[in-house]
Structure 1
């Protein structure tokens, strides 16, 4: 299973209640929820990826189950992973998805490929 379908269904439900401007794309070995054409939440086999504000990112660094995304040996600011063990309750998942949805409103859109 490339991504956790149970978690994807839970994320889908939360996002659908917040907006209808969502598109699901299979990418990076998982499922990515694009909101307003911007990467918002991704679901992998054992964790979710969230794109959050710089302030929320700094705070999240001290939370259990959160780890920053690292690419090419460098931390990718604003992107992090939350492990499945920290997403067992609706309240926990709602916390992370809402942080991503809040930041999505102000996040810069992805650059379009020509």
Structure 2
């Protein structure tokens, strides 16, 4: 599985005090989950974050990220 190891390590450091986070290989990367729900995924090309539809729309308007597309459908909570 090829993902950005350095970025994954940075995410781990930010989450190290949380005991409810698990890691799982998904999307050709490593995903961080709470209650079996993904909220961050590190891939070889970047970071996928579940931030909610309202904040995602805000950030998409800023132009600093793109929306996740899965099987041709936009995932409204993810950038």
Match of 2:7 in 1: 7
TM-score by structure 1 length?
0.63
Give yes or no for contact 2:53–2:78 (8 Å, CA) kept in 1: no
Match of 1:45 in 2: 44
Could you tell me how far 1:44 is from its partner in structure 2? Answer: 0.4
Match of 2:35 in 1: 36
The gaps in structure 2 that reach 5 residues or longer are none
Could you tell me how far 1:14 is from its partner in structure 2? Answer: 0.7
TM-score by structure 2 length?
0.88
Task: Give the structure with the larger helix fraction.
Answer: 1
RCO higher in structure (CA 8 A, sep ≥6): 1
Aligned length: 79
Runs of 4 or more, structure 1, over 3 Å off, are: none
RMSD: 1.4
